[in-house]
Chains A and B, each alone.
Chain A
């Protein structure tokens, strides 16, 4: 295998593994801060037990997110050195700003939170978790701004044989990045909500710690409903913007080959990338793609065949990832709606609780699909329209990359298994018994 493909696989493995932990960190941090604040304000010990229970799971997840995050910053240099040299003026600054403004705060304060229960006042301790939560989401702002720039580069000029920053404000107010940010953050909050509701459902089904888990469930439910609605509304705007700046990605995510008006969406299709058509199309809804892209059922949508073959992303992966993401998102909306109706009789809704337990992995799948769509759909570009992925790779031997890819698969596989085991163990065990008064 060549060094480009190996490096892409390594990047995909490292990034997708990292992103198994990031969303829960982002969302759960706010919920923990909220729970601890409720404890400080009401003095209700249930909230303290709740904070400690979810906190344990949070920290295992957080540790895995932290250690896998370092890889991400290093691998631009190790594996994508030509990319780093070409765009470092802009991209590198965003990563450095992230570390300085956000990651420092998050990493320093998490240590204070873990060890500071008896060293700080209750109020100060809860404030520390709020800061951890804000720092986490602030991190996301910078990282997504960096990714948004790769999706839709702005604010630069080509000078001295590289992309140099010409307008910093344009980079930080990049509409693509802002939409992507709202999408990623709210999707992460949805994931966290499902995680809490799923584990709470497990205990509610077993009729243990009912009061504590009913509270947890409701907190997550309200958080989740708001977040899901944000994803839906933003997703709609996002579609229009992708159509505007990345028309070929839109065409690929719908396997749309010929330029037409009243362009349809196929519920399912098998694209034939060689011959530029779909082998099978099932459940075609005319005009829906035109509406998605232009908010007009009659709009003309450019098809893949009108883009040079060497500029098209892999269609099948992009198409499937989009379908899975949207399909699951719709399911989440439905589950949230049922949850809202059943919010006051959760313990009497075993079927719903069971569904919520089994729904835990689904937002993970949806969020990974979202990244596959964003990143694979951007191919063959590493920076859309500016630099090709094949030109970005480091001048290193493929055997080196093969070795480290193997290393990542083995080490991450083992750590993932251990982390999964520990989280399941704690989740099942439930919170500590209430302190005897």
Chain B
């Protein structure tokens, strides 16, 4: 009981860290065609996340792997029932990943155009699709007792799902614009700051609509009403959002970025806490829902995996912080690698 609950929230935490870290990579990629005016600026944008994106993406691999290890049934049903959406994410991540290494290899505008498009599409699509997928999970997915989806990709593209997609995209755009405000220089930096300023009210509006829609479209608030102290999560999320604007106005971009990270973490935990103990609820019949208790691994596996996580995740965080501190300064023109 306790073990499953610990794992449930660890599962949420891994997704949250993935959204915080790779989230700004997605944001930068999605902004790349709009913010960069010159070839050099395009390169600066890529180099701003170049050293870090790969390590960030492993949080997704780990979130997926931990779902597989700790909640095999959730992994099985989630990945097969969301087949088309996941495959689209996968193809997006593939073309995004190679664009970093391929783009700078040949000095030809046509060649660069291909990888600019891949970089952009490979960032926008996952940002939206992760939002659509998670909003649908909050709402419940039409799966039968065998975990088979009664529907297709378009079943997921319902208004609430799409709203989730827009919310995630805006979260990541804001996060990415802030990262660029930290690492870019001159004109590009000014445009990044202006973009962060412009996106913020949009993000606020969509976040409010999403919170209201959640009350109608999902049962997420039930847990909060049962235990009002949980509303603190929502308070923290809002504090993050307000803090983003506050620090942005003061030109304290690092702090604004951290506040934005808090917003993303809070948003993820708002949903995950509302779901508990559901992990993949069925909208057809609550009895078909996969929960932390009916979909988990054996206690032995959960214990072994917990030991591994407790030892290694702090280590990972340690060396990733080290890597971040190496590459937190303005991108140096002379060190443009990609």
Contacts and interface: CB of A to CB of B under 8 A. Distances in A.
Interface of A: 59-60, 62-64, 66-68, 70-71, 73-74, 76-79, 81-82, 84-85, 87-93, 95-101, 103-105, 107-112, 114-116, 118-120, 159-160, 162, 164-166, 168, 394-396, 400, 404, 407, 411, 415, 418-419, 422, 425
B105 A81 contact: no
B68 A78 contact: no
- Give the contact-size bracket for chain B: 35 or more
A201 B50 CA distance: 34
Interface stretch (B35-43, B168-176, B302-310): B302-310
Contacts of A110: 54
Given A59-B101, A112-B323, A159-B298, A73 B65 contact: yes
Given A78-B83, A92-B72, 14 more contacts: A66-B97, A67-B93, A92-B75, A97-B308, A104-B58, A108-B54, A111-B50, A112-B51, A112-B326, A164-B300, A165-B298, A411-B94, A418-B98, A418-B102
Given A88-B72, A100-B316, A108-B319, A164 B65 contact: no
B65 A74 contact: no
B84 interface: yes
A77 B54 contact: no
Contacts of B78: 77
B79 A107 contact: no
B58 A103 contact: yes
A427 to B, nearest CB: 13
Contact of A70 (B76, B77, B93, B105): B93
A116 B324 CA distance: 12
B273 interface: no
B312 A101 contact: yes
Contacts of A97: 69, 305, 308
Given A81-B77, A89-B297, A98-B65, A60 B83 contact: no
Interface string B60-73: 11101111111011
A387 to B, nearest CB: 13
B107 interface: no
Nearest to B53: A111
A92 B68 contact: yes
Contacts of A112: 51, 323, 326
Contact of A114 (B50, B102, B146, B305): B50
Interface of B: 47, 50-55, 57-58, 60-62, 64-70, 72-73, 75-80, 83-84, 86-87, 90-91, 93-95, 97-98, 100-102, 105-106, 146-148, 297-298, 300-301, 304-305, 308-309, 312-313, 316, 319-320, 323, 326-327, 335, 337
Contacts of B106: 422
Contacts of B90: 70-71, 74
Contacts of B95: 67, 411
Nearest to B100: A63
Contact of A115 (B51, B80, B101): B51
A266 to B, nearest CB: 42
B130 to A, nearest CB: 13
Contacts of B51: 111-112, 114-116
A17 B67 CA distance: 25
B72 A74 contact: no
A78 B308 contact: no
Ranked 3 nearest A-B pairs via Cβ: A88-B72, A77-B79, A92-B68
B83 A394 contact: yes
A411 B91 contact: yes
B69 A92 contact: yes
A96 B75 contact: no
B98 A77 contact: no
Contacts of A415: 94, 98
B297 A93 contact: yes
Contacts of B300: 164-166, 168
A406 to B, nearest CB: 11
A164 B61 contact: no
A95 B102 contact: no
Contacts of B62: 96, 99-100, 104
A89 B101 CA distance: 36
A110 to B, nearest CB: 6
A62 B101 CA distance: 9
Contacts of A164: 297-298, 300-301
A364 B132 CA distance: 41
A119 B332 CA distance: 11
Contact of B80 (A62, A78, A116): A78
